A and B are shown apart, each in its own frame.
Chain A
Amino acid sequence: MAQTEKKTGLLRRTSSSKKPLKEKVVLMYEEIFAKEDPTKNNPRFWDELFLMKVNLEYLEGKLESLDGDEVMKVKDNINSLFHHCVQALSEEHQIKVVNALQTLCALFRGVHQKNKSATGFDIINMLMGFDKAELRMKELMESLDSLLCGDGSESLKSLCLKLLLCLVTVTDNISQNTILEYVMINSIFEAILQILSDVSSRSQHGYDAVVLLALLVNYRKYESVNPYIVKLSIVDDEPTLDGMGMVIHHALTDYNRQYKDKEEENQGGFFSTLTSMVGSMFIADADEKLSVQTNEAILLALYEAVHLNRNFITVLAQSHPDIDMSATPAAPVPASPTTPLGTTPPSLDMMNNPELPLDPNLQTSNLLITFLKYSSIIMQDTKDEHRLNSARLCLIILTCIAEDQYADAFLHDDNMNFRVNLHRMPMRHRKKAADKNVPSRPLVCAVLDLMVEFIVTHMMKEFPMDLYVRCIQIIHKLICYQKKCRVRLHYTWRDFWSALINLLKFLLSNETILLAKHNIFQLALQVVNLFNMFITYGDTFLPTPSSYDELYYEIIRMHQVFDNLYCMVLRVSTNAGQWKEPASKVTHALVNVRAIINHFNPKIESYAAVNHISQLSEDQVLEVVRSNYDTLTLKLQDGLDQFERYSEQPKEAGFFKELVRSISLNVRKNVSLSTMSQDLLLKEFSSIS
């Protein structure tokens, strides 16, 4: 302390004209921006600087206010500030490390805010100098890595992650952040993995680590070879992947719980105001209130994990009791590789891992279930941009899952039954409470339920065509799997068929409005082809012979819709125009449905006439259907069980760019280094240092 006193005296002499109220550290910053080498007057300048509490606002503000020429003048000083920051990271003195981390953060931010227009190279030059940049960044990354992997203080690790998040999100478009090139070369991937694999560090820093990873993976993912993508795709260490799954699971569970709490809160209000005649408006209001901030960053991380890493699929099905993550000591075991002789049996330390907590009321859950619940909440309301994007991402993730063989296997596993309580939008024509006792079924039923739920709840003016297409694709992929593997799912296919038919009905009745914006024929074709799957391949995956009869019954019952659709597509396809081609595809696809209708309708009519019944009962119709199969001939259509595989590029690239941009903005807004008060840090480190 005495030393600092002396030094301030020294400072005061040189800058006596300045206002006396300024902090010491600010005075020192001013020296840095004063073109002269600050060590000239005080050889211990840098040592002292990092002992002082960082003034982020001032530093950032100052950097921002400099214009191009001024910057070039103080460039050397900034370079050396950066250099000394990096050096201070390996100091033993923890306070210095903290201050250096914060200063670095201010540097990155300040420089970027200032130079919105400037190229990345200018920024690198300004911070580190071209010639030194590579070395400096290497040192920086190595220091960060060792801080993250070391046994040091947890708050220090947290600060490191914050700095990295800060660095990654300084630009709106992550791919324009040239500094990240060095982060690519000097990978901190392993450090992130280590955080995720360890139970305690995972619970404290897991979230930041996962978000950081998700962002890094998106750096120039389409233009160059991103080592993070490569590495993420080959991780096969189960504790690590599990850890990642746990972090995501935890975040999504949190969201679900928050939503549920809010919903319950609102429900009271809702009922009390129900008497007012504007009940329906209140529902809308309530929905607004219910929107808890979505978490796209975590969803992106889930997507990247599912999309890039095949081993991660197993994590989805990894069941664990539905409880707070930090309390779950699941698999904290470092992967001890099995030695060739198996002499250190993994069982040794692994066998006695802590037991799962014992609570009979605990529902066993897994990441997939949580994700499905989350999706059901997100999909309720797709009005604002964020939620629409989230819903889209949810559907994309589901697409990836539906395409994966292993995922399909456990989705359809008859032995893995779960009760999944999906959230359903309150609607006038249906009761909400009924979902409390859903039966325990294979998980694929929940996925199908979710899709059906989406289909029936989004037939609106602002038609989310894109989401509908994805939704139908997911269903199609699942049915293709069932057909291929002859899985006979006991599902209420009837509700499913009627949802699809209602969708066609909606498309027909809103043809003019929708056609202005969307290619409704593509969607119609997909829906009709789903029916074709059932009609021609039903023998391979329907659960009972009578379900095949029911399919015919449903088609015959709703034949009006198919008739109208046929008229419509026929009309459009005979007129020249942009829809000619897609519409004519639908006409071809309808051939079997029409054959069924045309075959059975006369039979039913004559049956009614013969038996003098005006209205046939369902059983009677089914009887007619059963007895007249043999005279019906169907046409085999090509490629019903083929689908285009999901690929991010080029179709989805735009979406992901935008998504990452919005996540970046959001993360930047929320990363606050100042959240951790200096006092707290001081308290923590005073005992150490």
Chain B
Amino acid sequence: MGDTELELSPARLEELQKSPSTSSTSSTSSLSLPSSPSSGPRALTSSSPSTSEGLPTSSPTLDVISEGVGELSLVIDTEMAKKACQEVLQKVKFLKPDGEVSSATSEPVLVNGTAHPESTDGGKPPKITAEEAEPVKSVRRRQKNNSSKQSWLLRLFESKLFDISMAISYLYNSKEPGVQAYIGNRLFSFRNEEVDFYLPQLLNMYIHMDEDVGDAIKPYVVHRCRQSINFSLQCAWLLGAYSSDMHISTQRYSRGTKLRKLILSDELKPSSQRIRREVPQPPPSCPPPLHHGQGMSEHSLSPSKRTHQRSKSDATVSISLSSNLKRTASNPKVETSQDEDLSSSSDSLELEAGTPVRLTPQREFIKSLMGIGKRLATLPTKEQKTQRLISELSLLNHKLPARVWLPTAAFDHHVVRVPHTQAVVLNSKDKAPYLIYVEVLECENFETSSVPVRIPETRIRSTRSVENLPDCGITPDQRASSFSTVPNYDNDDEAWSVDDIGELQVELPEIHTNSCDNISQFSVDSITSQESKEPIFIAAGDIRRRLSEQLAHTPTTFRKDPEDPSAVALKEPWEEKVRRIREGSPYGHLPNWRLLSVIVKCGDDLRQELLAYQVLKQLQIIWEQERVPLWIKPYKILVISSDSGMIEPVVNAVSIHQVKKQSQLLLLDYFRQEHGNYTTEEFLTAQRNFVQSCAGYCLICYLLQVKDRHNGNILLDSEGHIIHIDFGFILSSSPRNLGFETSAFKLTSEFVDVMGGLDGDMFNYYKMLMLQGLIAARKHMEKVIQIVEIMQQGSQLPCFHGSSTIRNLKERFHMNLTEEQLQVLVEQMVDASMRSITTKLYDGFQYLTNGIM
């Protein structure tokens, strides 16, 4: 899918190929750089060319710009950016009295940013650039700011309190390009993880908001893309997904789509020691036709920009000419074969050697996972799906290990194997989401660490032999190129010492001894009996008892149900599964071996899930901060497109539906079966976990208006927590709007029973937790609202249906109520939910239509 989008029409392609030439020519005039930003159809010039007019030219320009911006950010490390920000701020403060100048200076921050690299590179302080840019500023027709207001703002920005959440908020709310540009630069000073959390917001703003915001964000994004493949792909996926709601015609030329293409074109590579600076587009002084001509003639020299860009000072045509001929000559193909926008810059050559295509393996990996999902959806029965899934994954295994990873994981790793037989198809009516387990090897950095060597499935051989395998295995290529019979044989012969050969022929005897090894306690006995020759007697009753004990001991394994293959797989305790898979894996012996799991969803839009994840995560942070012991489990979401993605599964958890169906017990009885009797500590812990999680999710359900709360969407983990999944219906949307689920949240009598009944302490504790949670959430309402609000921009998601989504959300925080009133509210909601007939009706409805208990 991504690929099709990447395909460009010939005309466009041509256009794009011209762009390097243009840029190369422009390099000749690099001295005029400072003025260049204003000349291009860039966002900076407020009078940016209309899309219609600028189409032919705009695309190359954009490319160039983006390239340049990327370069810039490379040069500037976060420290530098910070410094630059401060300096500009200083200046702004300084110039405050002079309204005219202040607005000018503050505005150019962005320009400053773009033009920055060369100057930093040349060791010049950023302010020079700013000064240089000043004339440009003056061209702008922005309204002047109220200077005093701005000073307060600046003080805030500089204060320690200014965090990423505020930054996002100001970026979103401020109409002031200067502020936006400032924040764009400030982004560099936050920790990556902090910003990553708001990546969907940033990109959605980039796509759907005006150009100033976009320009403020872009340098940061490009900078991060250069640093990390993972970030690049995340951006590309999110950009694709959030652009998808636009009309197809606008989408095609939207900035989001362009940035996505830029990223996927793999141009944003980490540049090497040498820094390539932005190549400005044709300076205004040069008429385009001339450029064109020049570009053509000098096309072969295009790489020249690399050298002369090192710094402005040595950017002379002659130098670039002389130094770069060889580069192009050495690899002309690279340039022509690039079908993406942008010149294939010369510096890509250097990297080409090291990382031929940075993003491809991972993209292919994801693509094949999605392909499997699509194909599975066509199969009629669960059984066929499962079988097909297993065989597809076994094919996938052939291609591993590779430089691919699971984006949902928290650490760097390479995927080495998919234990295909462990994969299960999840319950879904017409889609085929599936859960796979993935064996990975943790590594320092997945971009630079070497990919692990493949180990054959049957790793029976000694280590020595394994080391020899690469020598012995003769690939067809090697063979085709050089044939020599006798030496070939000799080589192999040497690799396998005589002993080895003998060993092979007798079928590796020492390994076989383990076939009769003694795992059972009896066998140990039997050995002693052999020694003593005393007959050993055992009671038949003991054997029978042990059998029933062992079966009872394995805590309620679920029966295999061909219609619900995932139940068994999910019920198995995670630790046990890890151990089991590790034992069976050829990579299991490696110390950095880890097991991950992921749900692959194909045909589902996960953007709402992602939004819910963000809100949940935010609330979790808030509650933690406010020390409210509410327990929720936000699970990671990876949006790959508007109809596919991945979910990090909640381990050690099965749905309440599965619990009830398999155990045929009431929830409370199931708790007792799993955790022991009422008074045991285990039970009490599980009960407390249940209460804390229940309170947490009730609040979530209320605040977010989570609907479709049948038991298949509520999980119960092995510690007693409940976890709500599937946020397909939140905020303004509900399933088929049948009017079910009118209550604030789902609270069945079964739940109340687990909490110890209506009069129990735990139930009061539950209500108290809810109150505390609501008060805490209210205190930080803005942080929550902001996440949702920004995502509403340009979105067609059903959860934003109607105009009052945000207003209603705000109302649910009840800012106007006193704490006493809130308490009454909570009591009322609990009461109403418990009594709600619609909850029962909905469960009944689900049971009838989908068989969900």
Interface residues of A (CB under 8 A from B): 138, 141-142, 145-146, 149, 185-187, 190-191, 193-194, 197-198, 225, 227, 229-231, 233-239, 307-308, 310-311, 313-314, 317-321, 330-331, 333-338, 340-348, 350-353, 355-356, 358, 360, 364, 366, 403-406, 409-410, 413-418, 440, 477, 480, 483-486, 488, 535-540, 542, 544-545, 548-549, 596, 626, 629-643, 645, 647
Contact = CB atoms under 8 A, between A and B. Distances in A.
14 contacts: A185-B486, A227-B489, A234-B504, A238-B456, A319-B394, A338-B402, A342-B403, A350-B398, A405-B460, A415-B386, A415-B569, A417-B383, A632-B541, A636-B525
Interface stretch (B532-540, B609-617, B758-766): B532-540
B39 interface: no
Contact of A647 (B395, B488, B506, B550): B506
B802 interface: no
Interface string B355-383: 11100110011011001000100111001
Given A539-B544, A539-B550, A360 B380 contact: yes
B214 interface: no
Given A318-B391, A337-B475, 12 more contacts: A142-B485, A145-B483, A310-B458, A347-B361, A347-B400, A364-B384, A366-B391, A417-B383, A484-B519, A484-B520, A548-B547, A640-B526
Given A358-B378, A483-B520, A645-B507, A415 B390 contact: yes
Nearest to A406: B458
Contact of B453 (A138, A338, A356, A536): A338
B507 A230 contact: no
Interface in B314-355: 354-355
B493 to A, nearest CB: 8
A330 B354 contact: no
B516 interface: yes
Q: Which of A317, A330, A343 has the most CB of B within 10 A?
A: A343
A334 B457 contact: no
A138 B485 contact: yes
B476 interface: yes
A643 B515 contact: yes
A314 B403 CA distance: 24
Contact of B492 (A231, A317, A477): A231
Contacts of B483: 142, 145-146, 149
A338 B473 contact: no
B367 A319 contact: no
Contacts of A537: 520, 522
Contacts, number: 296
Given A146-B483, A330-B395, A364-B391, A347 B404 contact: yes
B529 A633 contact: no
B356 A343 contact: yes
Given A415-B421, A629-B544, A186 B395 contact: no
Contacts of B488: 187, 190
A416 B421 contact: yes
A175 to B, nearest CB: 16
Nearest to B520: A540
B584 interface: yes
A638 B526 contact: yes
Contacts of A352: 364, 367-368
Nearest to B465: A234
Contacts of A317: 394
A456 B71 CA distance: 78
A630 B541 contact: yes
Contact of B473 (A230, A318, A335): A335
A145 B562 contact: no
B375 A358 contact: yes
B403 A149 contact: no
A485 B453 CA distance: 29
A320 B391 contact: yes
Contact of A186 (B371, B477, B486): B486
A348 B421 contact: no
A338 B479 contact: no
A49 B473 CA distance: 42
Contacts of A416: 390, 421
B355 A343 contact: yes
Contacts of B496: 230, 234
B546 interface: yes
Nearest to A552: B540
B384 A353 contact: no
B404 to A, nearest CB: 6
Secondary structure of the B side of the interface?
Answer: helix
Nearest to A409: B584
B523 interface: yes
B512 interface: yes
B418 to A, nearest CB: 13
A633 B485 CA distance: 67
A198 B479 CA distance: 13
B470 interface: yes
Given A190-B474, A194-B479, A347 B403 contact: yes
A539 B461 contact: no
A486 B521 CA distance: 12
B837 interface: no
A268 to B, nearest CB: 31
| Contact size range, B | 35 or more
B392 interface: yes
Contact of B383 (A334, A410, A440): A440
Contacts of B375: 355-356, 358
B356 A344 contact: yes
B403 A345 contact: yes
A638 B361 contact: no
Contacts of B354: 341, 343
B424 interface: yes
B523 A641 contact: yes
B560 interface: yes
A318 B371 contact: no
Contacts of A486: 519
Interface in B541-563: 541, 543-548, 550-551, 560, 562
Contacts of B781: none
B361 A351 contact: yes
Contacts of A138: 485-486
B137 to A, nearest CB: 46
A233 B395 contact: no
A346 B541 contact: no
Nearest to A542: B547
A412 B803 CA distance: 57
Contacts of B548: 545
Given A340-B450, A360-B378, A641-B523, A351 B368 contact: yes
Given A234-B472, A351-B365, A403-B515, A149 B390 contact: no
B728 to A, nearest CB: 27
B398 A314 contact: no
A643 B513 CA distance: 10
B501 interface: yes
B475 A334 contact: yes
B515 A230 contact: no
A237 B473 contact: yes
B526 A539 contact: no
A347 B523 contact: no
A540 B422 CA distance: 23
B505 interface: yes
A318 B450 contact: no
Given A229-B505, A345-B451, A347-B365, A636 B390 contact: no
B387 interface: yes
Contact of A636 (B386, B537, B560): B537
Given A185-B489, A647-B506, A418 B540 contact: no
A645 B475 CA distance: 33
Contacts of B569: 415
Q: Which of A238, A364, A405 has the most CB of B within 10 A?
A: A364
B387 A364 contact: yes
B469 interface: yes
Contacts of B404: 345, 347
A548 B544 contact: yes
Given A149-B483, A356-B392, A346 B399 contact: yes
